[in-house]
Structure 1
Amino acid sequence: MPPNRWLNALVLLLAGGLQTLTLSPFNWWWLAPVSIVLILWICLPLPPRQLFRAGWLFGLGLFGSGVSWVYISISEHGNTSIPIAVVLTFLFVAGLALFHGLAFWAWGHLARDSSVRRLILFPAIWVLGDWLRSWLLTGFPWMYLGTGQVDGPLAGFAPIVGVYGLTFWIVATGAAAWAAYQLIRNKRQAAAGLIVAVMILPWLSGPFVSRVDWTELADQPLKVAAMQGNIPQQIKWDPEFLRQQVRTYLDLTQDDWHRDIILWPETAIPLTQDQAGPIIEMIREELGPDSTLITGIPWFGFSERVGDTTFHNSIMAIGNGEGIYHKQKLVPFGEYVPLQQWLRGLIGFFDLPMSDFSRGPENQSPLTAGIHRVMPFICYEVAYPDFVSSYAARTDLLITISNDGWFGDSIGPVQHLQMARMRALETGRYMLRGTNNGITAIIDERGQLTEAIPRFTDATLRGEVYTTSGATPVMLSGSWPTLVLAAILIVFVRERTIPKS
């Protein structure tokens, strides 16, 4: 790097940390363009060969501050010593930072030595890098800049362009701010003013766009209840505490068997469905005639996709509803172990309870609750924008269940809730969220919380949700318009003759 390489490295790490502050629980969304300006300040003069290291340093600051909560699951729940947990957490963070390193490297090679071309291409490269991270090696769609806008002025555009479109414009805003600054320095105030006007237009118009109703709510609400058992992770899979766990959820549901929809969280029943027959029958007997209980439960049986008997992390409807859904987006090391023939047995973290699930089949049918179609998402799945929007188009109501007890009193579960809110906003649908230890909540069609239970309490959430008809633009097109725009921009700008400055 240039002579001030230590200062440059510090600024890039800081820029990454600022982006964590744009997300929950901080919600300082206005820091996002500031972070982009800091990145451009350091990176615009760098030759392509140095941009990989710059991008990696930025990613280290972003993921080191934003997702290092995985240390809790590795150390406290993975039976791993502190030194090994620290090393594994660093490897995880450093590995994720490679995505930004590769994106910055590609940016430098595509834009070559033209600062103008670099400014134009930066938003396109950024959003394509985020998209790549969402599916490569099962994906990690966390820490997207656009997610912070669920409470920001661009929220109104989320149903139109989705989180990738919001991210594109945030990065473009930072690039435009830097371009305007350089134009003013070169006494080109008119051009700078035009860029600033275009840059701020969506930020000013967003609150007005948010008033548009893309979907239509039903006239009558459904009465719902969600139980938060706050079961300690240390006893979750201990057979000695099985009866206690089931009794906890039965007691929490005691006054709510008549509700339209009752929700228990991920693996609330810590037995496979073929072993939990007596519990399921007991639930059926307690339920009202028009009530449906939806619960997380492991599933064991023959899978056509696997060609053998296997485990699935699943959710099923009981009572006045039917269906079972098998989770498709599995968490590496938490629900399956890559290269398990070499890794299992090395350390406790590679032998977590229930870490041998198989991925569920594609194009599964939604659950039903009475006459209503309900699409469930299990834990990590709600982080995937296109995955949620494609399934939401077939359903009236969204449900997500999770067990964020793996991450203790960290910012991870709060970030998880914010992503669920963004999915509700993108799809214009109510979402009922049930978790083991928080945050259990009802999210309306605009991504706002209507009811919530504090973390680390055993309690029952009661409220109303509305089923929804219609579709938002992003449900019909997914993220493809933004991604295609980014690709076209790269091809067009790269072939044009553009001055260096």
Structure 2
Amino acid sequence: MKILESKRLPLLLSIASGLLLALPWYESFSGLILLFAFTPILYAEHLLSEKNARTRTVIMYAALAMAIWAGIDTWWIKNAATAGLIAAIIIHATFGSLVFALFHITKKRLGQTPGYISLIFFWIAFEYFYTNAEISFPWLTLGNGFAKDTFFIQWYEYTGIFGGSLWALLVNVVLFSTIISIIDRGKRHAYKMTIVTLCIVLLPIITSTIIYYNVVETGKKVNVVLLQPNIDPYHEKFDGLSSEEQTAILLNLAAEAVDSSTKLILGPETALQGRIMEESLELAPSIAMVKQFMEQHPNASMIVGMTSMKTYDTPYKPTPTARKYSDANQFYDRYNAALQINTSGFRVYHKSLLVVGVEKMPYLEYLPFIEELAVNLGGTIGSLGTQEERTVFQSSNDSIRVAPAICYESVYGEYYSGWVRNGANVGAIITNDGWWGDTPGYRQHLSYSSLRAIETRRYIARSANTGISAIINLKGEVVKRLGWWQRGYIKGEVVTNNKITFYAVWGDYIGRIATLLTLLMLPILLVKFLKRKGQ
């Protein structure tokens, strides 16, 4: 065929991989596409290697594929900040192309087998680094692409999402090797490779099926009410409605749903606004309204998002994020926080995995001037205060222990599992996904909650201001949901679970192993380069 001999074939293959990699993040497509999505770009690299193309050429084609992937799957970021979209595409394309460059060089210097094996751990190391870096946006980690295919990935309770990345990369490498075998080595060898490929594809699915039918709910059933006030974040939340009006909307919904059997009421991120000082919470009008409501429901606890401040009575800057009052010799921190109110009083958790460019500016300790560049999405902006520990919210009788993750924190599996290690037996996620509009963004965010449920084997109650509120069971299945741009509530049950999964204990160990292998491989490549240069 002429197309197979065309000079444009590597370009077409790169575009094909970009498109295939993007599809699993959309509702209509399965994550199983990832099992062959890298195959076109691998074949493009193979063709370029045969022609002794320069590494920069490989980088160019890989960057194109990565940019297409990132652009198609994260275009909705522009609704909040166009600069954020551009940064996401550039960073993803840069890291992805560098991984392919390292893979190409390894294959050239050390041979085919070490080269393809290195691609697997180079890629996972990149994902792990991007997850834990100061500038972090792990939205497109390969393992996230299986978020809708919960039946196939029940083994995430052992591996987390990097297990999904490993599966996708391994199948792609073996599948590509099978294709090359068919082309170069004849049917006999190809038959063996096909069997190997099928085993690598089917074994995780079979394992998942076995796990799925053996997951049993044995804990305590808890009646919950999830509130979705659906306050427009652009036109109502931060300037259209007062904090008291917004709180009234929230409590009116609660009044319709809460009864004597309700144990947990969940409200969304930043639901409580106004000047809320943490040293005197009860003085804030919105909190006083909630406290008065909760006095009528002493059997329940309410967890709700708020924007808050804490004053430090010191003339010296106590934290990197603290700001100085203009009219006093004191400092203060601002927080995106979760508040629990029950008969035991108040408890606060500060969101600590923050959105870069909106809630935190990177490397603030070294580059304090970049604070002024923060994107204003209303409410609390600039670098916010954080905390080290994952605070678990306990009910009055201590039988319900909730993990109060706030928005973006639910994207990070190892971080989220910290609440489970601290004793949480129910998961909660409070969020406000309305910034992105009616786009794939809020649906993708919901699907990641299913991953956290599987990884930790915890029911998750999810309250969204706008977006999708939902109850998700231990298997990652959405049991109940309230759709986009609907004001209302969900009444349902969650089931506690006190068992701790392998993943909750060990976290992203696959990412750490891949990083170690990468660090061991880089000196080998450097030695090879220096020897070649010396010759």
TM-score band w.r.t. shorter chain: 0.7 to 0.9
The answer (yes or no) to whether the contact 2:80–2:377 under 8 Å persists in 1 is no
Aligned to 2:224: 224
Change (3 A) 1:227 1:402: same
| Letter of the 2:429 counterpart | T
| Paired residue secondary structure (2:29) | coil
Mapped pair 1:106 → 2:132: no
Aligned to 2:341: 318
Q: Unaligned regions of 5+ residues in structure 2, if any?
A: 49-53, 313-317, 323-330, 526-535
The answer (yes or no) to whether the contact 1:27–1:148 under 8 Å persists in 2 is no
CA distance in 2, matches of 1:337, 1:119: 37
Change (3 A) 1:362 1:5: farther
Aligned to 1:469: 498
| Paired residue secondary structure (2:461) | strand
Aligned to 1:56: 63
| Letter of the 1:260 counterpart | K
1:66 to 61, 73, 81: 73
Mapped pair 1:417 → 2:417: no
1:289 to 275, 298, 301: 298
CA distance in 1, matches of 2:57, 2:337: 46
Q: Percent identity?
A: 21
Change (3 A) 1:107 1:272: farther
> What CA deviation, in whole Å up to 9, does each residue of 1:317-373 have, x standing for no partner?
00145421001111122223456735737xx94575421242411114211223122
CA distance in 2, matches of 1:491, 1:240: 57
1:489 deviation in Å?
8.2
The answer (yes or no) to whether the contact 1:108–1:118 under 8 Å persists in 2 is yes
Mapped pair 1:146 → 2:146: no
CA distance in 1, matches of 2:63, 2:407: 28
The answer (yes or no) to whether the contact 2:30–2:146 under 8 Å persists in 1 is no
Aligned to 2:404: 376
**Residues 244-255 of structure 1 aligned to structure 2 (within 5 Å):** 244-255=245-256
1:180 to 175, 178, 181: 178
1:92 deviation in Å?
3.7
1:466 deviation in Å?
0.8
1:16 deviation in Å?
2.1
Residue range with higher mean Cα deviation, 336-345 or 29-38: 336-345
Aligned to 1:480: 509
> What CA deviation, in whole Å up to 9, does each residue of 1:67-89 have, x standing for no partner?
11111112xxxxxxxxxx4x763
TM-score (norm 1): 0.88
Q: Unaligned regions of 5+ residues in structure 1, if any?
A: 75-84, 497-501
| Paired residue secondary structure (1:285) | helix
> What CA deviation, in whole Å up to 9, does each residue of 1:158-215 have, x standing for no partner?
1111110111111110110111122233022453244224323424413433336578
| Letter of the 1:463 counterpart | G
TM-score (norm 2): 0.83
The answer (yes or no) to whether the contact 2:122–2:518 under 8 Å persists in 1 is no
Structure with max Cα Rg: 2
> What CA deviation, in whole Å up to 9, does each residue of 1:257-312 have, x standing for no partner?
44211011000012243376333233223221111111100120136544641101
CA distance in 2, matches of 1:316, 1:7: 56
The answer (yes or no) to whether the contact 1:138–1:329 under 8 Å persists in 2 is no
| Paired residue secondary structure (1:245) | helix
1:64 deviation in Å?
0.3
Aligned to 2:20: 18
CA distance in 2, matches of 1:228, 1:316: 17
| Paired residue secondary structure (1:160) | helix
2:155 to 128, 135, 157: 157
Mapped pair 1:191 → 2:189: no
| Paired residue secondary structure (1:293) | strand
2:386 to 343, 357, 360: 360
Residue range with higher mean Cα deviation, 252-261 or 186-195: 186-195
The answer (yes or no) to whether the contact 1:398–1:431 under 8 Å persists in 2 is yes
The answer (yes or no) to whether the contact 1:396–1:429 under 8 Å persists in 2 is yes
CA distance in 2, matches of 1:211, 1:95: 36
| Letter of the 2:268 counterpart | P
2:482 to 449, 453, 456: 453
CA distance in 2, matches of 1:58, 1:278: 52
| Letter of the 2:391 counterpart | S
1:4 deviation in Å?
5.7
| Paired residue secondary structure (2:338) | strand
| Letter of the 1:222 counterpart | V
Residue range with higher mean Cα deviation, 312-321 or 61-70: 312-321
| Letter of the 1:315 counterpart | A
| Letter of the 1:209 counterpart | I
2:428 to 382, 390, 399: 399
Change (3 A) 1:310 1:491: closer
The answer (yes or no) to whether the contact 2:228–2:466 under 8 Å persists in 1 is yes
The answer (yes or no) to whether the contact 2:257–2:489 under 8 Å persists in 1 is no
1:95 to 91, 98, 103: 91
The answer (yes or no) to whether the contact 1:215–1:472 under 8 Å persists in 2 is no
The answer (yes or no) to whether the contact 1:329–1:359 under 8 Å persists in 2 is no
| Paired residue secondary structure (2:212) | coil
1:117 deviation in Å?
2.6
The answer (yes or no) to whether the contact 1:117–1:493 under 8 Å persists in 2 is no
CA distance in 2, matches of 1:387, 1:456: 29
